[in-house]
Structure formats: C-alpha cells, structure tokens
Amino acid sequence: MGGTTEGRLLAERLHRDPRFRILLSFAGRTAAVQAPDVPHRVGGFGGVAGLAAFLRARAVDALIDATHPFAARMSEHAVQAARETATPLVRVARPAWVAIAGDRWIDVASFAAAAEALGAAPRKVFLTVGRLEIAAFREAPQHDYLVRAVDPFDPGLPHARVLAARGPFALADELDLLRRAQIDVIVSKNAGTRATYAKLEAARALGLPVVMVQRPVLAPADETTSIDGALAWLAGLHGASLSRRGE
Ligand code: NAP
C-alpha cells in the first residue's frame, strides 16, 4: 500500500527482484497518480472486509503498509485485515521530524487544534495541508491563507488562494515564497519526509513559528523506518517460507 515516495521506491526495488511478485496500491486521491513502472492498482478496497477479501483472493503472502503517516484509516484497516487473514504485515514508518535549535514549533494534536493555535487576530498563514484536511480551518476564516496542495481545489475560505505544487521543494524557493507572501506563520503536518522539509528550514531562517500537527497514533504493528528495513523483513519471510517447504 503506497502513496508515498518510500512506497514507490520499495515497489520498484521489489519488482526487479525475482523472488517477489508485487502489486502497488494507491488510494487515487490525487488527480494525477504518478504511475510507477510496476504493476499497480488504484482505489479503496472497501474497508477491512474488502481488504481481507482482496488478500485472500490474490493469495497475498505479505502486506506492506507504506502509506503516509497521516493515512490512519488505511493503516488501521491493514492491521485488522492482516490479523483476520493471518497475513504478515510490516509498516514502513518514516521517522517524524524533530525540532532543533532555532525552530519555533507549536505542537498540536489535530487540525482543529492547529486552527485554534493561529489565534483570534488575522494572520498570513502558509497552510500546507490538503483538500481533506482544510475543513478545520473554516473555523478560523479571519486569516489570510496561502494553501499549498498537490491538486488545486476550492478551500471554501474567504481569504485563501491555493498553490498547486508537488514536492520536493528547495530551500531558496521556500524562502522566496515565504518572503513574497509575507507569511507570519506556517501550518504543517509532521510528515517526516525530506521532500517537504525545506519549508521548516526556511521558517527557522526567518524566525517564523510553525504550528506542527502531530501524527495520529496507530495500532501496534511490526515497523521499520526504511526501505532497506522492509526489504530485510521480506527476505526473512521469504527464507522462512522456503525452509517450511523444505527447499
Ligand atoms: P486514509 O484516510 O487512511 O484512507 C481512506 C481510505 O482510502 C481507506 O480506508 C481506503 O479505502 C483508501 N486508501 C487509502 N490508502 C490507500 C491505498 N494505498 N490503496 C488503496 N486504498 C487506499 O488516507 P487518506 O488520508 O485518504 O490518504 C489516501 C492516500 O494518500 C494514502 O495512500 C496516503 O499514503 C496518501 N497521503 C499522502 C499525503 C501526503 O501529504 N503526501 C497525506 C495523506 C495521505 P477503503 O476503506 O475503501 O479500502
């Protein structure tokens, strides 16, 4: 299950490895899925029952959850469907970003809390959340929002413009953007990816506060932080199944 850079890179590595047959799954949330050069499918499975049926029908030997850290529903379904079907599951959980000297982060637990943390007085906000997460900010319509998301959409806010762009973003461009738009504060999810880290470096350089939305807490599962970790987990599984068959 992909939707992330790690998911795509991992799928490409596995596709070149004759020990495995892979299928990469996308939710289909973005208008233009960056179609990888590997077998893939697009669209939801239909909840836990749908995913469990899919795993059975395809006789899936291993499930890798390489979705975005904020794709909590999919990760939860993966845990449940894997348990129901006794399918080995590993989650590729990239480490969260950690504040360093010079960062002015305000950690919050939800998008609603992020909207509240912006305060009552109107501010110029750089909002790096998507279409599905914007609703919380309609409770704080007094701010002037510059919203950056992969696809353009109507934010439904009186003072907002959407900048459709896909990372990676470079520090010089982020500095330029923040200065030109005279941004007072940034709102970000703690995604943990390198591709969108430059906005945080730019905030540090300009002394801007960042309202950082913490990750949802997921049900326990085997976890690895890297593509190599997932490959090692799979290699272990493959070796174990060969020795069970006496090969
Ligand atoms: P979500 O709330 O966890 O997922 C909602 C539903 O979308 C799931 O229940 C599932 O539908 C379907 N779905 C999600 N990921 C899927 C996958 N890889 N393959 C097939 N179906 C999937 O997640 P979301 O917030 O909608 O996110 C959707 C996708 O966007 C995820 O793959 C995630 O990795 C990516 N994402 C990217 C970012 C980013 O900033 N780059 C942020 C959030 C999410 P059913 O219940 O019908 O199976």
pLDDT tens digits, one per residue of 1-45: 999 989 999 999 999 999 999 999 999 987 766 778 899 999 999
196 close to ligand 1 (CB < 6 Angstrom)? no
The per-residue pLDDT for 35 is 73
Q: How far is the CA of 208 from the centre of ligand 1 (A)?
A: 31
The residue ranking higher by pLDDT, 105 or 244, is 105
Q: Average pLDDT, whole number, for the chain?
A: 95
25 close to ligand 1 (CB < 6 Angstrom)? yes
49 vs 23, 43, 55, 81, 166, CA distance in Å? 19, 15, 10, 7, 33
Percent of residues, the chain, with pLDDT higher than 90: 89
Q: Are 166 and 150 in contact (CB under 8 A)?
A: yes
The per-residue pLDDT for 33 is 66
The per-residue pLDDT for 247 is 64
pLDDT tens digits, one per residue of 41-95: 999 999 999 999 999 999 999 999 999 999 999 999 999 999 999 999 999 999 9
pLDDT tens digits, one per residue of 135-155: 999 999 999 999 999 889 999
CA 50 to ligand 1: nearest atom: 48
Q: How far is the CA of 74 from the centre of ligand 1 (A)?
A: 6
The neighbouring-strand residues paired with 107 are 212
128 close to ligand 1 (CB < 6 Angstrom)? no
Distance, in Å, from the CA atom of 24 to the CA atom of 20, rounded to the nearest integer, reads 12
188 close to ligand 1 (CB < 6 Angstrom)? no
CA 67 to ligand 1: nearest atom: 34
Distance, in Å, from the CA atom of 80 to the CA atom of 13, rounded to the nearest integer, reads 27
The per-residue pLDDT for 244 is 76
pTM metric for this prediction: 0.89
Rounding to the nearest 10 degrees, give the CA dihedral for residues 6, 11, 17, 20: 120
CA 191 to ligand 1: nearest atom: 40
91 close to ligand 1 (CB < 6 Angstrom)? no
Sequence-distant (≥ 6) Cβ neighbours of residue 32 within 8 angstroms? 151
The per-residue pLDDT for 207 is 98
Q: How far is the CA of 141 from the centre of ligand 1 (A)?
A: 27
The per-residue pLDDT for 62 is 97
